[in-house]
Structure 1
């Protein structure tokens, strides 16, 4: 099994693409994850892709900004977006899909539209577990996963932890199903009162970190059995995800440093020799914290 680590563009928009790609390469990332907006162009993306290729970085495209509350308009915008990106060179497409208040039939239509494009192109489209989207909560996403066998996820459990105000101890079935369908991970750590802990390096946040590590371990173990590639984007974000000191513009810690820390932690954790028996020990330790 191969694990590839992707650097989020989110939070580094102040850097030129040249500087960003060089910095990501120097940090040891395998690729970059890039938001592609409704008004972005294929020509603009190719300039980004050429810069990434210069630094031997792969690219994941992220969909995030189809937000119209009118379903008919939303559906047309999403399909137009899919049409625009379907021939662009990328490893996969990560989609924040639908709305939490759309009906099951409406959100299913959006997922099916993405599945059709994926079948046409061979490019995998994974749907991010995200607040405000169809997959905003574990128990809701579980129903879609049962009804749509081909539905694949970007697992970002931090959102579910925040929505449920718990570490999902009572939603084991939903988590297990999500783990079975996860093809991409957003490695951000949430806690019951928010989608992002202030700093995963600090001892007071080790319980939250270990809960997420336990879920990610299970995805890795599954992918090892399948002998397939797993992509991971450490995705601690800037403000307002990153907490600032009150009355200042000073973040509590450095976003870039935290994401590099997460990449290095996971790369070491999943290096050759990491096995399921070790996972069991770590899971037991997690429960005692």
Structure 2
């Protein structure tokens, strides 16, 4: 089964063309990003991705509206906008953590209809503040929506549950069985992102995440299906920084490229995962 790797646009400060050049040279298969609403800007983005032979995972994170009906309508408009670009997949930070299941459920029904009509897979991210923000909450959604597929960003759950999820195994196992896309950021009990996964003090957190990701890789290998991984270490304020100066404690690009090479090398060995 192919594993494809994507760079996040999040945190980039270069021109988009220079960013894509760096992404291609680093060995990524594509970019995960949102898309501008203005037609010419959107076309420029898509043309640049094509120039560098990079795939697009289109991203929806703009779940801003606090009223369920307005949130659903904005969700519909933006998903239709993303799907028109024919990405390889769409990843969504769906709904709100304070909406009830009945208020969030129409988002999943809408995403399913749009995915079926377009033939483009849509995953829903395990993200703080959104409907899949916590392990037991997500488990209840999985039980009620059998075809719900996710982007696993389990770093958020480490933060939400203030642990490496040792006491959440049943919910974690269910989440791993629903994962088609991974955000390979490493979280810990007090935050969704360690300052540098190469540092020895984060070895336990890194090994926990690698163990979860190995199991997802194993399932996709067995099924012969595509797994997509975005190396999504982010900038300030996800990246810890010094007070006043906001100088980052680590280099976001270097860390993401490190994760790219770590995972590529790890999963070249078919005995792992």
Q: What's the TM-score bracket when you normalise by the shorter of the two chains?
A: over 0.9
Please say if residues 42 and 84 of structure 1, whose CA atoms lie closer than 8 Å, have aligned partners that are also in contact. no
User: Which residue of 1 is the match for residue 238 of structure 2?
Assistant: 241
Please say if residues 7 and 231 of structure 2, whose CA atoms lie closer than 8 Å, have aligned partners that are also in contact. yes
d(CA) in 2 for partners of 1:72 and 1:43?
30
User: Which residue of 1 is the match for residue 206 of structure 2?
Assistant: 209
Of 40, 54, 59 in structure 2, the residue corresponding to residue 62 of structure 1 is: 59
- Tell me the CA shift for residue 35 of structure 1: 1.9
Aligned residues: 273
d(CA) in 1 for partners of 2:212 and 2:46?
32
- Tell me the CA shift for residue 67 of structure 1: 1.1
User: Which residue of 1 is the match for residue 25 of structure 2?
Assistant: 26
- Tell me the CA shift for residue 100 of structure 1: 0.2
User: Which residue of 1 is the match for residue 77 of structure 2?
Assistant: 80
> Superposed, which structure 2 residues align to 1:188-227 within 5 Å?
188-227=185-224
d(CA) in 2 for partners of 1:250 and 1:85?
34
> SS at 1:146's partner residue?
helix
- Tell me the CA shift for residue 41 of structure 1: 3.4
Moved over 4 A (4+): none
Please say if residues 236 and 246 of structure 2, whose CA atoms lie closer than 8 Å, have aligned partners that are also in contact. no
> Superposed, which structure 2 residues align to 1:140-179 within 5 Å?
140-179=137-176
Structure 1 vs Structure 2 CA RMSD: 1.2
- Tell me the CA shift for residue 89 of structure 1: 1.7
Q: Report the TM-score, using the length of structure 2 for normalisation.
A: 0.97
- Tell me the CA shift for residue 66 of structure 1: 2.4
d(CA) in 1 for partners of 2:28 and 2:69?
39
Q: Report the TM-score, using the length of structure 1 for normalisation.
A: 0.92
d(CA) in 1 for partners of 2:155 and 2:95?
19
Question: CA-to-partner distance for each residue in 1:14-37, whole Å, 9 max, x for gaps?
Answer: 211111100101111110001236
Question: CA-to-partner distance for each residue in 1:199-258, whole Å, 9 max, x for gaps?
Answer: 000101010000000000000000000111110001010000001122323111100000
Please say if residues 197 and 206 of structure 2, whose CA atoms lie closer than 8 Å, have aligned partners that are also in contact. yes
